[in-house]
């Protein structure tokens, strides 16, 4: 027998009937709390040991209802209040679709209450330090024998009297058990505390996440997509004093590729120099543009005899005239850019480079129509 205080005396019985017969006999002597240890549940033993009804049914009912309310509240709050989205043409607050999940959560809450509530709360399991577990009788108890224990209820436990009572009731084997060992840390209390801590941490983290997303503008969430701070072009906006959403460019703003020429009249333009070389590529590009845009009025040869003359009131310039042959490049460029007499400006249609290409081509036309012997010689030497 163990040296410390004895906690309980255990007697083994061979049949359920022997156990059931011993319970009232031993109980009448009031030596301590009675507990039976059996390999499987025995019918009627709860009454014999005068146990109260298990409160588990009530616990499960309460938690099941709580599960239903939790699920419904959660679903309703999300679907109708916090994140209302119309699905399938149903009103955000229509509750019928919430029922399946309500049912599942009810069952989930009830199940965990029934299972874990039974183990952790009512039976205080796991507990590895109980003396029955380390007794000699446990092998028989979990196999096919039935044990009755008289357990100490505080001071004044008489182990010898308990032994005698059990033997008198027909126990085939007697064992005195020591105090429970409170050493093993893995107990129901420990698990409940850890699980409670984890649950609390989850709730705090969830609420913190929700609060962070909803309340702090440093984390603009996707739910605020409709809130886009910007000014709309051509719309009134109170942001600026003048009430316009659109801003005018700063004075002197120059668009890309549209640098001003720096000259104010055709005479001044005479100083401009064609930046392009008179290469076959440039002439080909100039020819194409002349063909598309100039030929209709000035004629294919630039001599002012086009197909359109009859239908056209004004008289287009004959570019082969001496006046224009004497023009510097810049003055032709100016005429294309600014327009002249009935001719409109081509600045909007042709880039500066394209205009200079046309200038090259006009020069080529003039030279071709007024070719000299030197030109022929030069061509012959190629």
Residue 132 near residue 192, CB atoms below 8 Å: no
Least Å distance, CB 240 to another protein, is 32
Least Å distance, CB 59 to another protein, is 9
Structure letter (DSSP) for residue 183: -
| Site map (CB under 8 A) of another protein, residues 38-77, x = contact | xxxxxxxxx--x-x--x-xx--x-------------xx--
> Under the criterion CB under 8 A, does residue 284 sit at the interface with another protein?
no
Residue 118 near residue 57, CB atoms below 8 Å: no
Indicate which single residue of 66, 119, 167, 276 sits in contact with another protein (rule: CB under 8 A): 119
At residue 209's C-alpha, the angle toward residues 208 and 210, to 5°, is 90
| Site map (CB under 8 A) of another protein, residues 182-211, x = contact | ----x-------------------xx-xx-
Nearer to another protein, 216 or 312 (CB): 216
> Under the criterion CB under 8 A, does residue 93 sit at the interface with another protein?
no
How far is residue 137's CA from residue 135's CA, in Å, rounded to a whole number? 5
Residue 149 makes CB contacts below 8 A (sequence gap 6+) with 8, 9, 10, 11, 34, 35, 36, 37, 132, 177
Length of the chain: 382
Tokens 């505390």 identify what position?
A: 193
Site for another protein in 221-280 (CB under 8 A): 221-224
Residue 97 makes CB contacts below 8 A (sequence gap 6+) with 90
> Under the criterion CB under 8 A, does residue 26 sit at the interface with another protein?
no
> Under the criterion CB under 8 A, does residue 87 sit at the interface with another protein?
yes
> Under the criterion CB under 8 A, does residue 132 sit at the interface with another protein?
yes
Structure letter (DSSP) for residue 246: S
> Under the criterion CB under 8 A, does residue 105 sit at the interface with another protein?
yes
Question: Which ranges of 49-98 would DSSP assign to H, the alpha helix?
Answer: 56-76
Least Å distance, CB 68 to another protein, is 13
Nearer to another protein, 138 or 165 (CB): 138
Indicate which single residue of 25, 29, 127, 301 sits in contact with another protein (rule: CB under 8 A): 127
Burial 123-132 (b: 16+ CB within 10 A, else e): eeeebeebbb
> Under the criterion CB under 8 A, does residue 112 sit at the interface with another protein?
yes
Least Å distance, CB 26 to another protein, is 13
């Amino acid at each position: 027998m163990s040296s410390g205080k004895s906690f309980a005396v255990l007697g083994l019985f061979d049949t359920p009937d022997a156990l059931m017969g011993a319970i009232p006999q031993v109980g009448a002597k009031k030596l301590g709390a009675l507990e039976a240890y059996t390999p499987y549940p025995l019918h009627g033993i709860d009454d014999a040991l005068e146990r109260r009804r298990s409160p588990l049914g009530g616990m499960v009912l309460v938690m099941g209802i709580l599960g239903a309310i939790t699920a419904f509240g959660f679903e309703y709050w999300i679907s109708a209040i916090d994140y209302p989205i119309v699905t399938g043409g149903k009103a955000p607050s229509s509750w019928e679709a919430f029922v399946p999940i309500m049912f599942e959560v009810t069952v989930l809450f009830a199940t965990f209450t029934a299972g874990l509530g039974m183990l952790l709360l009512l039976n205080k399991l796991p507990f590895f330090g109980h003396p029955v577990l380390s007794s000699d009788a446990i092998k028989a108890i979990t196999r096919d024998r039935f044990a009755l224990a008289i357990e100490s209820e505080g001071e004044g436990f008489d182990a010898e009297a308990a032994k005698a009572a059990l033997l008198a009731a027909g126990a085939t084997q007697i064992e005195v058990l020591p105090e429970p060992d409170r050493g093993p840390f893995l107990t129901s209390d420990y698990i409940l505390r850890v699980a409670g801590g984890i649950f609390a941490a989850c709730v705090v983290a969830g609420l913190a996440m929700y609060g962070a997303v909803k309340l702090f503008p440093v984390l603009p969430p996707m739910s605020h997509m409709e809130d886009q701070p910007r000014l709309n072009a051509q719309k009134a906006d109170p942001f600026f004093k003048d009430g316009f959403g659109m801003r005018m460019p700063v004075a002197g703003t120059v668009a890309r590729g549209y640098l001003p020429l720096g000259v104010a009249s055709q005479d001044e333009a005479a100083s401009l120099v064609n930046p392009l070389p008179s290469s076959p590529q440039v002439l080909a590009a100039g020819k194409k543009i002349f063909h598309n845009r100039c030929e209709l009025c000035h004629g294919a040869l630039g001599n002012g005899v086009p197909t359109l003359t009859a239908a056209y009131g004004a008289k287009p310039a004959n570019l082969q005239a001496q006046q224009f042959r004497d023009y510097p490049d810049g003055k032709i460029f100016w005429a294309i850019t600014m327009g002249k007499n009935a001719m409109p400006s081509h600045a909007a249609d042709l880039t500066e480079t394209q205009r200079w290409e046309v200038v090259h081509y006009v020069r080529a036309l003039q030279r071709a129509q007024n070719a000299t012997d030197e030109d022929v010689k030069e061509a012959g030497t190629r």
